[in-house]
Amino acid sequence: MEIAALVAWVVTALGGFVLLSRWIAGGGLRGQQTGDSRFPAPLVFGHFLLAAAGLVVWIVYLAADKDGLAWTSFGILVVVALLGFTLFARWLPVHRATTPAPQDTTAPPERQLPVPVVLAHGLLGATTLVLVLLAALEVGGS
């Protein structure tokens, strides 16, 4: 269960890195100053940094096999999930808005996020949360 959680977390992180890169390349940081972006930078980077920190704690848990680290990872992951739901809720209206022309520079940076990656990232994140919980509860052996 622990290794499955690790694999799910790493794949989720890769998808998150793609989304972060696309948001930055699409003008997400510039959109903070102009008001074009619906994603506050502290929310985006908080989600990213907490997810990375939780992954590091999970890897240390795998190496040390200390139950407290598993629960710490789970707690961090719950906060990461809440931040992710907030980002999704802010992204959804942008996605549902009328599709602009591909070269439209007035579109919010969130428009650059590929729908399949957003959906896969969210589903894998939820899967990771469940797997980490099951591992912390020691379901399925260790």
Question: Across residues 51-69, what is the average pLDDT?
Answer: 96
Q: How many CB atoms lie within 10 A of CB 135?
A: 24
pLDDT for position 117: 96
User: pTM above the 0.85 mark?
Assistant: yes
Question: Is 127 in contact with 8 (CB distance < 8 Å)?
Answer: yes
pLDDT for position 140: 77
Residue 36 clears pLDDT 70, i.e. is over it: yes
Q: What is the dihedral of CA 74, 79, 85, 86, to 10 degrees?
A: -170
Residue 63 clears pLDDT 80, i.e. is over it: yes
pLDDT for position 29: 87
pLDDT for position 80: 98
pLDDT in tens, 76-96: 999 999 999 999 999 999 888
